Chain A
Amino acid sequence: MFAIRNIGTKTFRLCRNLAQKNVANLSTSTDTINRSLYNFSDEEVQLKETVGRLAREKIESKVREMEQKGDVLPEIRQLMFDNGLMGIEIPGKYGGTESSFFSSILVVEELGKVDGSISVMCDIQNTLINTLLMQLGSDYLKDKYLPRLATDMIGSFCLSESSSGSDAFAMRTSASKNGDYYTINGNKLWISNSKHAGVFFVMANVNPSLGYKGITCFVVDRDTPGLTIGKNEDKLGLLASSTCAVHFDDVKVHEKNILGKIGQGYKYAISILNEGRIGIGAQMIGLAQGCFDKTIAYTRERQQFGQRIFDFQGMQHQISHVATQLEAARLLVYNAARLKEAGKPFIKEAAMAKYFASEVACQTTSKCIDWMGGVGYTKDYPIEKYYRDCKVGTIYEGTSNIQLNTIAKLIDAEFK
């Protein structure tokens, strides 16, 4: 238990100091034009610092407990809503923060430094749910759900099924029309946030004979009869993030709860996941950085053979290599985010960012355990949790292989 206390106060201070040094570079009060990807607006700097502080001071101490309980604590969920972290791009008139996509990315990254589950909860809400609703929702849907999503309701995105993961369009969940109602039947799997979600954005096919062109997005309230939340998967990591099956047995949804147009669901899914993967990239770089910072602090203290283990050249070479990869991953994520904000094409860059960031996070956390030695392998130290948490990064929201397919397709198109 000493170990936890010691690494607690020392690394807290060190991580804060690190945050200070990095943030000092972000000052916008210089005379020369700073085109670095670290040139943030004043609001972005403030948001980043505030969330970083909030995460370290209020969330970090509860992380282990939430992992052991397999759930986000109610007070932490409340904290996220109260501080405006769940409605970052939602306009003020709906009770949201009214900030930008890049701000969401910075928030997800800062949360990732402390806990991957909290980070992904925030990411899904902001980059998938809120964005879908704001881009495609009718006034009825926006007025009904945006204020809730900003202040107290979690949303879940239901696409995957037991026989359709990467092959998302092979989904079997169907929606048959009855007058002005649709009846949804099917089973969704791997649904994050589902345990506490108040609303589900469900992809169901209204006309299977049309293939994927029948896929439609329905906004379904949790308490709709026939909707049941199934078992929570017992996962390797992100244990505080609920990943349940969601069952639809004759769930009746009025047609005014259709998001966007009938049969366009496949398009919406693809386009929103393009943005969402920048968010996952941010979560991954946050996880990697959080793990790295704590590990370096340790290597500068731990002595063997009469010197700090950081001072061995072998260690330094490994550390520098990993730091360089992490820096590159972060720049890919930031650049993809800025391109999207600017309305420029960003799909290739987003795929590269997610692919690279998730692979780098896995490598970084693995090396961090090596550098920590035996203690890195124990649960007394926070390092092994980062290693387990980031593994899913190469899998969800589009596996690495799918990202590579996407990148290749776009490269091919560039040469046409």
Chain B
Amino acid sequence: MSLRILVGCKRAIDYAVKIQVKSDLSGVVTEGVKHALNPFDEIAMEEAVRLKEKKLANEVIAVSCGPAQSQDVLRTALALGADKAFHVEVPAKEYETLQPIHVSKILAKLAEQEKVDLIILGKQAIDDDCNQTGQMTAAVLNWPQATFASKLQLKDKEATCEREIDGGLETISIKLPAVVTADLRLNTPRYATLPNIMKAKKKPLKKFSPKDLGVDITPRQEIVKVCEPPKRQGGGKVASTEELVERIKKLGVN
């Protein structure tokens, strides 16, 4: 069984950066701010590379949708072990309104074109926290999906997946081709070794435009306002347990 895996790689603001809202409240400051590969996509990449090392997959393709700078995360993905990379170039202005609905169609088109058996995505991006792309992609392709995966096993053309859900852990079995989204505990991603970083520049990186793939990225949303969450107010102090119960009752909580 030698699978072809497509891995979604989003360039998002680095997790350690202190986010600042733009003064015109139209978005957050991204200019000159450190970006990196979305951490959940890193986990997705790691899983794909491990499958290749186990000889269950023979090709890992990394794909990123975004402006020219998205190539940075594709280079990271190549250094981590992807065989080739696709950059779906979306100009900066249009990127501001690019939504999972558009990305899922792009990924679906690429998956069909490249005859991919498995799509592994991060469960969500840490900038928008949408948690939609994986699910939408599966729907567009009419493929089974296993989201919030914390364990993935492949056998023949079937995937057994342990999912982290609100109630606990759920194990499901799905037939390939399928979409899996990676959750935090799926694996611990490796560091790109220096030799692999150097070798990555020789790996192929192909550019597409959404039009090439027949996907319309007309915005379906308009960003009205982006602002900081309200500052947390300090809680009040009560003198006794009785008073505490009184206050809770008043708030209408049983």
Contact = CB atoms under 8 A, between A and B. Distances in A.
Contacts of B194: 47, 50-51, 83-85, 88, 97, 99, 103, 107
Interface string B142-182: 00000000000000000000000000000000000000000
Interface residues of B, number: 23
Interface stretch (A19-27, A327-335, A388-396): A19-27
Given A17-B18, A24-B34, A27-B69, A46 B79 contact: yes
B195 A47 contact: no
B197 A47 contact: yes
Interface in A21-51: 21, 23-25, 27, 29, 42-43, 46-47, 50-51
B201 interface: yes
A17 B16 contact: yes
Contacts of A47: 194, 197
Contact of B201 (A27, A42, A51, A97): A42
Interface in B194-246: 194-199, 201
A50 B201 contact: no
B88 to A, nearest CB: 17
Contacts of B76: 46
Interface centre among A23, A50, A88, by most B CB within 10 Å? A50
B195 A17 contact: no
A130 to B, nearest CB: 13
Contacts of B33: 20, 24
B198 A83 contact: no
A92 interface: yes
B191 interface: yes
Given A17-B16, A42-B75, A82 B34 contact: no
A50 B192 contact: yes
Contacts of B32: 21, 24-25
Contact of A99 (B34, B68, B191, B198): B198
Nearest to B79: A46
B251 interface: no
B34 A29 contact: no
Given A17-B16, A24-B34, A50 B199 contact: no
Contact of A92 (B69, B191, B197, B199): B199
Nearest to A107: B194
B17 interface: yes
A84 B16 contact: no
A98 interface: yes
A97 B199 CA distance: 8
A20 B201 CA distance: 23
A54 interface: yes
Nearest to A98: B198
A13 interface: yes
Contacts of A84: 193-196
Nearest to A27: B69
Contacts of A98: 195, 198
B117 interface: no
B14 interface: yes
B191 A23 contact: no
Contact of B195 (A23, A29, A92): A92
A17 B17 contact: yes
Given A20-B34, A27-B69, A43 B201 contact: yes
A235 interface: no
Nearest to A57: B191
Nearest to B34: A20
A20 B191 contact: no
Given A20-B17, A23-B34, A24-B32, A46 B75 contact: yes
B17 A50 contact: no
A16 interface: yes
A11 to B, nearest CB: 12
Interface string A239-267: 00000000000000000000000000000
Contacts of A82: 193
Contacts of B79: 46, 50
A13 B16 contact: yes
A84 B201 CA distance: 16
B179 to A, nearest CB: 29
A203 B193 CA distance: 34
A29 B69 contact: yes
Contacts of A92: 195, 198-199
Contacts of B16: 13, 16-17, 20
A214 interface: no
Most chain A CB atoms below 10 A, which of B68, B69, B193: B193
A98 B68 CA distance: 27
Contacts of B198: 43, 92, 97-99
Contacts of A58: 191
Contacts of B199: 92
A85 B195 CA distance: 9
A125 to B, nearest CB: 13
A53 interface: yes
A53 B69 contact: no
Given A17-B18, A20-B14, A46-B76, A29 B193 contact: no
What 6 A-B pairs come out closest when comparing CB atoms? A20-B34, A84-B194, A16-B16, A97-B194, A84-B195, A97-B195
8 contacts: A17-B16, A17-B18, A20-B14, A20-B33, A54-B191, A83-B191, A98-B198, A99-B198
Given A43-B198, A97-B194, 17 more contacts: A13-B16, A17-B18, A19-B34, A20-B14, A20-B34, A24-B32, A42-B72, A43-B201, A46-B197, A47-B197, A50-B79, A50-B194, A53-B191, A83-B191, A92-B199, A97-B197, A107-B194
